[in-house]
Amino acid sequence: MGVATSCRKPLRLITGLALVAVAGGALAAVVDMPGGPSVRQINLTAPVTIIASQIYDLHLVMLAICAVIFCAVFGVMFYSVYAHRKSKGHKAATFHESTSVEIAWTIVPMIIVIVMAGLATKTVLAMKDTSNSDLTIKATGHQWKWGYDYIKGEGEGISFYSTLATPREQIDGLAEKGVNYMLEVDNEVVVPVGKKVRILTTANDVIHAWMIPAFGVKQDAIPGFIRDTWFKADKIGTYRGQCAELCGKEHGFMPIVVSVKSEADYSKWVGEQKKLMAAKMDDPNKQWTQPELIARGEKVYAAACVACHQATGKGMPPAFPPLDGSKVVTGPKDNQVALLLNGRQGTAMASFKSLSDAELAAVITYTRNSWTNKAGDMISPADIKSARGWDSAKLTQLSAKAP
Amino acid sequence: MSAVLDSHGHAHDHEDHHHGPPAGLMRWVKTTNHKDIGTLYLWFSFMMLLTGGVLALGIRAELFRPGLQYWNPEFFNQLTTMHGLIMVFGAIMPAFVGFANWMIPLQIGAPDMAFARMNNWSFWLLVPAAGLLVASFFVPGGATAAGWTLYAPLSTQMGIGMDMGIFAMHIMGASSIMGSINIITTILNMRAPGMTLMKMPMFCWTWLITAYLLIAVMPVLAGAITMLLTDRHFGTSFFNAAGGGDPVMYQHIFWFFGHPEVYIMILPAFGIISHVVPAFARKQLFGYASMVYATSSIAILSFIVWAHHMFTTGMPAAGQLFFMYATMLIAVPTGVKVFNWIATMWRGSMTFETPMLFAVGFIFVFTMGGFTGLILAVTPVDIQLQDTYYVVAHFHYVLVAGSLFAMFSGVYFWLPKWTGHMYDEGLGKLHFWCSMIFFNITFFPMHFLGLAGMPRRIPDYATQFADFNAVASVGAFGFGLSQLILLVVVLKSIKGGAKAADNPWEGAEGLEWSVPSPAPYHTFETAPHVK
């Protein structure tokens, strides 16, 4: 049975299947995502920074060199496959080993790869140069959201979390998926156009990675360490990426969106943020009632706890234990307060001391009085405030003792 | 390479004092025969290939469309992790050890492997290890979902499935080390008189170097996962910054194992191709000595490139430049190999039976994986493509179209020697064309997805990525089903078929073709002489 006859049938079947698949996908009439991937994009994302455009060009040059070598090498091979067949009566030659040929095909590729690496060296050095930045932002990876702190430059002091904004119904296929599906957030990182922005990355729990393809930036965010990278966006617009290092269950659901604004718009945004932050601060003298705390706590729970402990409070044992019926949640208050402030070593439970007194008080009160938990009590922001004064030995002891 | 049999002195018959294998299950449990153990390894790895393949199809089913369809994200991560672990440690590595067991004694004219009982033990260790891996899906919390690289500190968060995975890998590592010691000892001490190292068949050469790599790096992996285990349960902080450790140190240790591991999975494949191409081109391998030197260079270089897997962790510019240059150098000896195969084909007298189809297919598609490897070696481009589908495409081009296709080539090449029957050539060719076409439908679009920025290991993705994902999923199911053709071919050849001659291939050379087909239970009890 010849090659030609034995392959004809499967070929037809395969092309048919491929066409069906492509046609099926195209029916949904998806359009390009601004600042994100295009439909059936086949090359790197259009660059908006000098580094990204150097990478774009480097990749094309590499691809071209490889394509030329590929055609030359496999031109020879397939000519040989075509011409030097026994079925054509070709008799085997007996030559083997040729020092000059072998030296040539060692030296020439060596020169080619050194040229290739040489081309890239300048970009490697440029990517590493994070000096003289106009604005420094710290990006902290959390399971599973990003926290941003504006550390230096205009907007210093702004701080917020950024979580996936795609509604659950779209993920579950109950609603039509939007154009920015999976790559949209509630709070975008805002930066000014044409300014050098230094991004410090770190993480709260496991390794994450902060990436924006249009900027040519990808930097791991490592718990306990600070790394940095930089970009200078040349074009106003919104640019999208997502966490690039496997970080657990919701790894695919922590996008990164950067909005590049004109300098004036950026200053306006900074002003708004400052006002918002001031307004958001809870009045320290407010006297909270238990229903108020529970209502507030439900919101905090939905933002900070639900990914692991689930809306049902059932968790996902064994890594993420249930809160419903938990001895910690139904036991003495101090243990639960200490656990939230301190986290628990060696488990996925991180410290949540970055939440405000009111938020912590609310979420603790909420968990103690939800599902089947009926503690009936409440924790006031003042309790949290005083607990923050506990020394680390007491915190560790209480949080570890919590059964 | 000219292992020509000297026909004097050893031509006594095989029948009079030989006994066959004992019957029943205990034959396989207690066997110390290299051919039986080789067969066990090959069947074991084929079953693991199917297991890992089913997991892969679970991944591709979920990714057929955007949105969450079948699995929750946690289980999806378990699928990607266990697919990787099972394919690397359960399918590819044991399969090559199976080839080594069958072919090395036959190729060097030895009666068996040097340590026959240890050989039995190194196979049977694999079975509980595989059991642990598969069983970990059913324990509370499920299998480990930290990716096959098991990066800390994510891997310290997992449930008991992670500990089972660690234990399984310890066992598999012990098995690999025992296998390697056996292979090295056999090759260095048991070659037939006259077979100097530089006359030794290429497959033995590549395995000799691979075995040294295994002995060098398996203990490194064992160290890394043991530190993980003590971090998880005994309060150490090797990879926990809060206790003075460093999560990135795990990656350095892991990839110091992981990069040589890549060559452990491809060097024996190079060896197989270096037998098949000359046999079907009816022409001597073009540069035997340079092939040996190229293999050695690749092995040595593999120890100084590990951090190219870690360009985005943020190492100093000097580190990035060093690892970029070192990595690109590997292209040189790899190129030498490809040029050698093509020079062997050049002006040969070629026929294209299934082993040759897979060999030519290997050279063509593996080289594409080599080119994407070269592109990924360029640090700035790598930073853009790290952890995207481009990397997934790259390593499947070198591991599936590389290692796996070479093994298919080897199976068809030596199957007549193993079973005594020719395989069904029509089905073999069908297997090749289906594998080749579906492989490319599955993995070629992944280059585009990666360039467009789709990260790996995500269960749901932007709708703009949908079309290429759908194509890849269709290809994956086609590729998976195509492998059942191989099963049919092998079973048919075991049951019957045209009787295979001692040397069924016109151009094949080597001692293995001097013994009858199927190879008798005991071969070369008197060493042959090699001129």
pLDDT in tens, B21-37: 778 888 999 999 999 99
C-alpha–C-alpha distance, residues B523 and A335, integer Å: 72
C-alpha–C-alpha distance, residues B506 and B509, integer Å: 9
Inter-chain contact A120–B378, Cβ cutoff 8 Å? yes
The residues with which A261 forms a beta bridge, in sequence order, are: A192
B176 is catalytic: yes
**Alpha-helix runs per DSSP H in B109-189:** 116-124, 126-135, 160-189
The CA distances from residue B424 to B22, B139, B416, B478, in Å, are 29, 43, 11, 21
3-class DSSP state for residue B265? coil
Nearest to B357 by CA among B437, B446, B468: B437
Asked whether the CA dihedral B182, B184, B190, B192 is positive or negative, the reply is positive
Residue B503 structure tokens: 């040397």
The angle subtended at Cα B329 by Cα B323 and Cα B335, nearest 5°, is 145
> In this prediction, what percent of chain B has a pLDDT beyond 70?
96
Evaluate if residue A4 carries a pLDDT over 80.
no
Residue B102 structure tokens: 């069958």
pLDDT higher at B19 or A44: A44
Evaluate if residue A11 carries a pLDDT over 70.
no
B308 is catalytic: yes
In single-letter form, the type of residue at position B286 comes to F
B421 is catalytic: no
Set B275, B337, B394, B421: catalytic member: B337
Inter-chain contact A113–B317, Cβ cutoff 8 Å? no
Residue A390 structure tokens: 């506990």
Contacts of A224 in chain B (CB under 8 A): 240-242, 246-247
The CA distances from residue B182 to B95, B117, B158, B209, B271, in Å, are 16, 10, 36, 13, 18
Quick one: pLDDT band at residue A161, thresholds 50, 70, 90?
very high
Mean confidence (pLDDT) of chain A: 88
Contacts of B467 in chain A (CB under 8 A): 21-22, 25-26, 39-40
3-class DSSP state for residue B63? helix
Evaluate if residue A346 carries a pLDDT over 90.
no
Query: pLDDT, tens digit, for every residue of B477-505?
Result: 999 999 999 999 999 999 988 999 999 99
Inter-chain contact A218–B383, Cβ cutoff 8 Å? yes
Query: pLDDT, tens digit, for every residue of B218-266?
Result: 999 999 999 999 999 999 999 999 889 999 999 999 999 999 999 999 9
C-alpha–C-alpha distance, residues B328 and B282, integer Å: 34
Chain B nearest-CA residue for A58? B381
Q: In A51-80, which positions are buried (b, 16+ CB within 10 angstroms) versus exposed (e)?
A: bbebbbebbebbbebbeebbeebbeebeeb
Average pLDDT over residues A222-248: 96
Quick one: pLDDT band at residue B18, thresholds 50, 70, 90?
low
> In this prediction, what percent of chain B has a pLDDT beyond 90?
93
Comparing A110-119, A161-170, A388-397, B166-175, which segment has the lowest mean pLDDT?
A388-397
At A220, give phi and psi (nearest 5°): -65, 145
Contacts of B352 in chain A (CB under 8 A): 3, 81, 85
Evaluate if residue A403 carries a pLDDT over 60.
no
Inter-chain contact A97–B345, Cβ cutoff 8 Å? no
Nearest to A155 by CA among A235, A281, A259: A259
C-alpha–C-alpha distance, residues B395 and A81, integer Å: 27
Bridging pattern class, strands A208-212 and A237-242: unpaired
Residue B188 structure tokens: 């260095």
Give Cβ neighbours of residue B361 (< 8 Å, ≥ 6 apart).
Answer: B401, B405, B432, B435, B436
Inter-chain contact A93–B66, Cβ cutoff 8 Å? no
Comparing A12-21, A344-353, A365-374, B280-289, which segment has the lowest mean pLDDT?
A12-21
The angle subtended at Cα B21 by Cα B17 and Cα B27, nearest 5°, is 150
Inter-chain contact B451–A77, Cβ cutoff 8 Å? no
C-alpha–C-alpha distance, residues B346 and B278, integer Å: 10
Contacts of B505 in chain A (CB under 8 A): none
In contact, A109 and B371? CB cutoff 8 Å:
no
C-alpha–C-alpha distance, residues B292 and A183, integer Å: 50
Residue B300 structure tokens: 């040595």
Residue B93 structure tokens: 């590595």
Quick one: pLDDT band at residue B15, thresholds 50, 70, 90?
very low
C-alpha–C-alpha distance, residues A294 and A289, integer Å: 9
Specify the pLDDT at position B211. 97
Cross-chain CB nearest to A124 (options B156, B160, B317): B317
The residues with which A146 forms a beta bridge, in sequence order, are: A141, A162
Chain A nearest-CA residue for B384? A216
Evaluate if residue B415 carries a pLDDT over 70.
yes
C-alpha–C-alpha distance, residues B286 and B16, integer Å: 42
Find where tokens 């493509």 sit: B385
Inter-chain contact B283–A179, Cβ cutoff 8 Å? no
Inter-chain contact B470–A213, Cβ cutoff 8 Å? no
Specify the pLDDT at position A352. 87
Set B39, B81, B149, B175: catalytic member: B175
C-alpha–C-alpha distance, residues B209 and B184, integer Å: 9
Quick one: pLDDT band at residue A348, thresholds 50, 70, 90?
confident
Specify the pLDDT at position B55. 97
Set B263, B306, B412, B418: catalytic member: B263
C-alpha–C-alpha distance, residues B279 and B512, integer Å: 13
In contact, B136 and B85? CB cutoff 8 Å:
no
Give Cβ neighbours of residue B207 (< 8 Å, ≥ 6 apart).
Answer: B96, B100, B104, B183, B187, B267, B268, B271
Mean confidence (pLDDT) of chain B: 94
In single-letter form, the type of residue at position B433 comes to W
Set B39, B295, B334, B442: catalytic member: B334
Q: At what angle do helices B405-419 and B466-495 cross, to 10 degrees?
A: 10
Kindly report the nearest CA distance between residue A390 and chain B, in angstroms: 20
Nearest to A400 by CA among A360, A347, A353, A359: A347
Inter-chain contact B458–A252, Cβ cutoff 8 Å? yes
Contacts of B453 in chain A (CB under 8 A): 36-37, 45, 211, 213, 241
Quick one: pLDDT band at residue A135, thresholds 50, 70, 90?
very high
Name which of B273, B347, B439, B463 to mutate to probe chain A: the one with the most chain A Cβ atoms within 10 A of its Cβ.
B463
Name which of A112, A114, A140, A182 to mutate to probe chain B: the one with the most chain B Cβ atoms within 10 A of its Cβ.
A182
Contacts of B507 in chain A (CB under 8 A): 92
Inter-chain contact B347–A7, Cβ cutoff 8 Å? no
Specify the pLDDT at position A393. 84
**Alpha-helix runs per DSSP H in A84-204:** 99-128, 168-171
Residue B155 structure tokens: 């891997």
B263 is catalytic: yes
Evaluate if residue A188 carries a pLDDT over 50.
yes
Quick one: pLDDT band at residue A27, thresholds 50, 70, 90?
very low
C-alpha–C-alpha distance, residues A179 and A130, integer Å: 34
C-alpha–C-alpha distance, residues A187 and A185, integer Å: 6
C-alpha–C-alpha distance, residues A290 and A380, integer Å: 9
B175 is catalytic: yes
C-alpha–C-alpha distance, residues A352 and A360, integer Å: 8
Q: Whats the size of chain B, residue-wise? A: 531
C-alpha–C-alpha distance, residues B83 and B81, integer Å: 5
3-class DSSP state for residue B211? helix
Kindly report the nearest CA distance between residue B385 and chain A, in angstroms: 9
Residue A83 structure tokens: 């011409």
B456 is catalytic: yes
In contact, B202 and B238? CB cutoff 8 Å:
no
Chain A nearest-CA residue for B345? A80
Chain A nearest-CA residue for B456? A244
Specify the pLDDT at position B393. 97
Inter-chain contact B248–A225, Cβ cutoff 8 Å? yes
In contact, B207 and B100? CB cutoff 8 Å:
yes
Quick one: pLDDT band at residue B11, thresholds 50, 70, 90?
very low
Query: pLDDT, tens digit, for every residue of B362-411?
Result: 999 999 999 999 999 999 999 999 999 999 999 999 999 999 999 999 99
Cross-chain CB nearest to B241 (options A224, A249, A347): A224
B83 is catalytic: yes
Chain B nearest-CA residue for A62? B375
Residue B421 structure tokens: 């029957």
In contact, B280 and B350? CB cutoff 8 Å:
yes
Chain A nearest-CA residue for B470? A21
Find where tokens 């990914």 sit: A307
B259 is catalytic: yes
Average pLDDT over residues B319-345: 95
Query: pLDDT, tens digit, for every residue of B433-451?
Result: 999 999 999 999 999 999 9
Evaluate if residue B306 carries a pLDDT over 80.
yes
C-alpha–C-alpha distance, residues B375 and A286, integer Å: 60
> In this prediction, what percent of chain A has a pLDDT beyond 90?
58
Helix or strand run (H / E) with residue A197:
strand A197-203
Kindly report the nearest CA distance between residue B262 and chain A, in angstroms: 21
Residue A340 structure tokens: 């939230």
Contacts of A220 in chain B (CB under 8 A): 312-314
C-alpha–C-alpha distance, residues A399 and A353, integer Å: 13
Inter-chain contact B67–A77, Cβ cutoff 8 Å? no
Inter-chain contact B380–A73, Cβ cutoff 8 Å? no
DSSP notation for B238-261: TT-GGGT--HHHHHHHHHHHHHHH
Residue A328 structure tokens: 């910690």
Query: pLDDT, tens digit, for every residue of B498-521?
Result: 999 999 999 999 999 999 999 999
Nearest to B397 by CA among B367, B435, B427, B358: B367
Give Cβ neighbours of residue A191 (< 8 Å, ≥ 6 apart).
Answer: A135, A137, A197, A233, A258, A259, A260, A261, A266
Query: pLDDT, tens digit, for every residue of B271-299?
Result: 999 999 999 999 999 999 999 999 999 99
CB pairs under 8 A between A and B: 371
Q: Whats the size of chain A, residue-wise? A: 403
From the number of C-beta atoms within 10 Å of its C-beta (0-12, 13-18, 19+), residue A294 rates as buried
Comparing A2-6, A335-339, B55-59, B284-288, which segment has the lowest mean pLDDT?
A2-6
Average pLDDT over residues B343-349: 94
Evaluate if residue A24 carries a pLDDT over 70.
no
Residue B471 structure tokens: 């194509």
Specify the pLDDT at position A326. 86
Cross-chain CB nearest to A18 (options B151, B335, B474): B474
CB atoms within 10 A of CB B47: 13
Contacts of A253 in chain B (CB under 8 A): 73, 460
Residue A261 structure tokens: 């604004």
3-state helix, strand, coil in chain B (%, to 5): 70, 0, 25
Inter-chain contact A92–B348, Cβ cutoff 8 Å? yes
Quick one: pLDDT band at residue A10, thresholds 50, 70, 90?
very low
Inter-chain contact A207–B368, Cβ cutoff 8 Å? no
The model's pTM = 0.85
